[in-house]
Structure 1
Amino acid sequence: MMKTIISAGAILLLLTTTAFAQSSAAAPAAKMTAPAASASGPSSCESQAVGKNGKPLTGAAKTSFMKKCEADDTSSASSACESKAVGKNGKPLAGAAKDAFMKKCVADAGK
């Protein structure tokens, strides 16, 4: 009888702990999806500048976030342009041709 009660208590404890762990783990994942989605342009960075409490960032926190967000946008545009930097003959561009292409491509991506 005593073994049955202890076993039932252990199972109940295990099930409630597992359910609690799943519900609390799902909440941070939902919070991470909105800011993690990256679109181009400063307006998207502006809209993503929201703190953990849901309020817009201000001051130094906003400045830091905006710098990081804009740098991420530039680096993603740069890597996209890097893969497109191919000449008419199918070989990768090099030197001045590559520099000119990259400058124009990154500028166009920022628009």
Structure 2
Amino acid sequence: MKKMLIALSLIAPVLLAPAAMAETAQQSKMTSCNKDATGKKGDERKAFMKECLSNKPAEPAAPMTQQDKMKKCNADATGKKGDERKAFMSQCLKKDK
């Protein structure tokens, strides 16, 4: 009996994690839609929220490769020179996204 309870306690978080993640994604979507609906009232807001919430959730973006980061940072660094560019590139390449 103890072994079964231990096994269940180890497996339960793995089985429940997808449901918790889906809830968080929905909450995030609701927050985003509410923020975007600022200034809209009545039927206009209702229609906007319906459309916004019915859109498929954005797929989690694959992590950027180092090469993609370099391309993006180089494009963003246009116009910067010398130490300013070096500092910008260093910061940019450290970012996660």
In the superposition, the TM-score normalised over structure 1's length comes to: 0.33
In the superposition, the TM-score normalised over structure 2's length comes to: 0.37
Greater Cα radius of gyration, structure 1 or 2: 1
